[in-house]
Amino acid sequence: MHEWALAEAVIAAASQIAEEEGLREVTEVKLKVGELQNLELDLLEFAFSQLKPIKFKNAKLNVEMEKAEFKCRVCGTQWFFKRNELDSSSSEAIHFLPETTHIYIKCPKCGSPDFEILHGRGVLLESIRGVK
Amino acid sequence: MVDPRTSIIDDRLRDVNRIIAVSSGKGGVGKSLVASTLALTLAAKGYEVGLFDLDFSSPSTHMILGIKGVQPKEERGILPPVIYGLRYMSIVYYSGEYATPLRGADTSNALIELLSVTKWGKLDFLVIDMPPGIGDATLDLMRFIKKIEFLIVTTPSQLAFETVRKLVSLLKELKIPIIGVVENMKMNSSSVIKEKIRRLGVEFLVEIPFDPKVEEAIGDVNKLLNTVLAKKVNDVASKIVK
């Protein structure tokens, strides 16, 4: 996912939670980001700092990266994502649309594109902290 | 834990006036042709129009429109390129010519991803070419896009109609607006489908005769807009903008 679009989405979601929880100031936003997103964390933090509203002025963005792991639905093989085995255009496509993983990656044992992404896809807003 | 992407979808579509999902119960009824031609026709009438190909496993609007070698621009999100007056978005920018073997959860994730990153800007109409049936993409659109309306395409086949009947019944139950039904590829003057559609309490929009010239027009927008199909779709567009 695009870093700026993600920062905007994180702020929208965190603002909604802050509103529901009656926080007047948000001090921390905790994210879990899958490796498949191929995010540039510096760019994400920069986008977050540029887009954050007043309520978030002292908010720190904490990002935990999660390694991507796959399991083949056909033969059961489990393996980890290795970005350096992809060419730049496949890597770019996966960055924008992680589901294209099923196009550019195949099971290393049987070659099937039908595998489960066990971990490392998507972005989750784990928690926010703030002052009431 | 919250998926933050879903919080931004409303905002991304805030300046889109109407969102029309061109849908069908079955594949092969000409839905992508109707969606592409409708988008072109609305743009030709002077409206700001987007076309979003949501048929992830079998995208085809790029072939219908003859789109090649174009990529969206990145500007704090993804800006769909303007092609033939349409802001155009499709998975093919990322999947190329390869097969896209996606299961249900992957389809949902890809849909949420594209809805949350694509910046459509101000549009009068966003036309969505849907995958056939009432699977994940259809259910997700109903979940995420509150102002969605459906335009349904069928053929004279009883089999196609039966799936349309189920789609209409689901949409009515969920109180989702249905613009009407188009009967495509008509080869005789039977009014069976028209009557059945009316009995469902849905507007029958137009009959489109089977036109062998449509196949020759694939990839050539000017030819496409001169087909009988385009003339009939123009009638549908006129009803939509009324």
Q: Quote ipTM for the complex.
A: 0.88
Single-letter code of the amino acid located at B174: L
* Four-point Cα dihedral B159, B161, B165, B166, nearest 10: 40
% pLDDT > 70, chain B: 100
Among candidates B1, B101, B107 on the partner chain, residue whose Cβ is nearest the Cβ of A114:
B101
Dist CA A96 CA A91 (whole Å)? 9
**CA-to-CA separations, B95 to A104, B75, B87, B175, B214, in angstroms, rounded:** 9, 21, 19, 35, 26
Is A113 an 8 Å CB contact of chain B? Answer: yes
What value does the mean pLDDT take over residues B71-92?
A: 94
What value does the mean pLDDT take over residues B216-232?
A: 96
The whole-angstrom distance between B99's CA and the closest CA on chain A is 7
Element (H, E) at A89: helix A88-96
Residue B67 has pLDDT above 90, yes or no: yes
**pLDDT (0 to 100) of residue B184:** 96
Q: Output the tens digit of pLDDT for each of chain A's 132 residues.
A: 689 999 999 999 999 999 999 999 999 999 999 999 888 899 999 999 999 999 999 999 999 999 999 999 999 999 999 988 889 889 889 988 999 999 999 999 999 999 999 999 888 999 999 998
Q: Which residues of A touch B5 (CB under 8 A)?
A: 1, 6, 9, 123
In the structure, what pLDDT confidence band is assigned to residue B104 with cuts at 50, 70 and 90? confident
In the structure, what pLDDT confidence band is assigned to residue B1 with cuts at 50, 70 and 90? confident
Residue B114 has pLDDT above 90, yes or no: yes
Residue B167 has pLDDT above 90, yes or no: yes
**pLDDT (0 to 100) of residue A44:** 93
The DSSP call for residue A96 is H
Among candidates A9, A17, A96 on the partner chain, residue whose Cβ is nearest the Cβ of B5:
A9
Dist CA B28 CA B157 (whole Å)? 11
C-beta contacts of B98-102 below 8 A and 24+ residues apart: B98/A103, B98/A104, B99/A103, B99/A113, B99/B57, B100/A99, B100/A100, B100/A102, B100/A103, B100/B56, B100/B57, B100/B59, B101/A102, B101/A103, B101/A113, B101/A114, B101/B57, B102/A99, B102/A102, B102/B56, B102/B57
Q: Which residue of A has its CA nearest to B103?
A: A114
The whole-angstrom distance between B241's CA and the closest CA on chain A is 32
**pLDDT (0 to 100) of residue A1:** 63
Q: For all residues of chain B together, what is the average pLDDT? A: 94
Dist CA A33 CA A11 (whole Å)? 15
Q: What is the pLDDT of residues B84-96, one digit of tens each?
A: 999 999 999 999 8
Structure token digits, residue B76? 């704090």
State whether residue A120 is helix, strand or coil: coil
